[in-house]
Structure 1
Amino acid sequence: MIRAVLFDFDGTLADTAPDLGHALNRQRINRGLSSLPIDLIRTEASSGARGLLGLGLQIKPGDSGYEELYDEFLNFYEEQLCKDTVLFPGVGELLDEIESRNLLWGIVTNKARRFTDPLLEQLGLASRTSCVICGGDTANFKPHPEPLLTALNILNVTPAECIYLGDDIRDVESSLAAGIEPIVAMYGYLGDCGVAPESWGAEHLIKHPQDLLRHL
């Protein structure tokens, strides 16, 4: 019996790509480059600053100047953290139904707490979630199972009593390693890992947030 639902954040609960895109495009414009369309930015949004900087400025960790651009991106993002970020359509209704069934729900994300906590406050979720595990809260990041296992301990549920919804192959890998059933949010960013979501290893893929209710 399912007692808890865990969610990834970016690309699963919230569409954060517009504000991530604002930060990246601000960097590009400052360097005489044109803005990238948000639909293109969405393809790398789940990869965080590293993926976005690779997309927008063709720079990767270890390259000269990367750390400066990385810090600049995060500072720009923090300045307009929740300007255009919204919950995906149907997420609010999904969470209402989960709570009406007296199920626990939480968030496990690689996003730093510096950004996650203010976003949850502004989106009205901070007081509702039973646990939030952010990047840096544990020694390992997803796809390692440690963040999900930490959430299970906080919620006091077993892997068999939980499902995890995410939009990235790392979410599926982390979930499987933790013994939790993964479900892929096909409405999310999905990334560009070179492997189709149908081959990530999850048995179930959903096209709309409320489709998750069939698995509770």
Structure 2
Amino acid sequence: MYKTIIFDVDGTLINTEQAVLHSLQKMLHVDYNKSVELDDLTFVLGIPGSRSLPQLGISDIDKANERWNYFMKDYFNTIEVFEGIFDLVNHLRDKNINQGIVTSKTKEELKCDFEPFGLMPYLTHIVCADDTEFHKPHPEPLLKFLEIADAKAEQSIYIGDTVYDYECARDAGVDFALALWGCKNHQNIEAKYKLETPLDLIKFI
């Protein structure tokens, strides 16, 4: 039985795909005069800007991230909590199961893009991109979570939607469940469990 449930954020708890991609596309056009199709930007999903922006030829990472976050506000109305997430976190809380997040978002991004949706009160521990030197797919973020939560890897499970999430969990020795509701290419991602809906997780805990 799992005693600790750890969630990714984007593509797992909240649907930010359109906001992330459109704001990046707009930032590239406005600030760098780059016209990039949305399909060519999907590789950024699930990894921090510090890793994705250099792949777009951008060197002033801090400034570009700040502008990217600025344009995210233009698309905030497209962000929503996935159906079934509130039912799941309420069930887990009723069962006294610890819940937390490991995300590639910075603390500032989490404050702007996640906190308004009312999920923070359910989370006992949080690891953001600011909290570790290395980021997903490196295992350090999950290992950091286990440390601060005093949780055992074999009693924990990580739920995410990308191959970066899987690799992070695998190398941290934590079971992985793939959130199919936010995943685009599940055939190419290994997972102990593949969940059609958030409430499917209940079967395994």
Scaled by the length of structure 2, the TM-score of the pair is 0.82
Number of residue pairs the alignment of both structures matches: 203
Provide the residue aligned with 1:215 in structure 2.
204
Worse-superposed segment, 122-131 or 6-15: 122-131
Per the alignment, residue 88 of structure 2 pairs with 94
Q: Does 1:83 align with 2:80?
A: no
1:51-66 matched pairs, under 5 angstroms? 59-61=56-58
CA contact (8 A) 2:154 2:175 kept: yes
Is 1:158 matched up with 2:152?
yes
Q: Which runs of 5+ in 1 are unaligned?
A: 191-195
Q: For residues 135-189 of structure 1, give each alpha carbon's deviation from its aligned partner in whole angstroms, at most 9, with x where no partner exists.
A: 1201211111111111112222201111100011111111111111011111114
Correspondence for 2:190: 201
Q: Matches of 2:170 and 2:61 in 1, distance apart?
A: 33
Structure 1 residues 67 and 125: alpha-carbon distance in aligned structure 2, compared to 1, 3 A threshold: closer
**Percent identity between the aligned chains?**
26
What is the alpha-carbon distance in structure 2 between the residues aligned to residue 23 and residue 89 of structure 1?
A: 24
Name the counterpart of 2:68. Answer: 73
Alignment match, 1:118: 112
Cα distance between partner residues in 2 of 1:157 and 1:28:
41
Aligned partner of 1:19 in structure 2 is 19
Paired residue for 2:174? 180
Matched-pair contact (CA < 8 Å) for 1:142–1:171: yes
Q: Going by fraction, where is helix more abundant, 1 or 2?
A: 2
| SS state at 1:184 partner | strand
Please state if 1:133 is matched with 2:127: yes
Distance 1:66 1:141, change over 3 A: closer
Contact 2:50 2:61 in 1 (8 A): no
For residue 90 of structure 1, report the CA deviation from its aligned partner. 0.9
5+ residue gaps, structure 2, are none
Give the aligned residue type for 1:59.
L
| Partner-residue secondary structure (3-state), 2:134 | coil
Given the superposition, is the C-alpha separation of residues 40 and 15 from structure 1 closer, same or farther in structure 2, using an over 3 Å criterion? Answer: farther
Tell me how far apart the structure 2 counterparts of residues 91 and 85 of structure 1 sit (CA, whole Å): 14
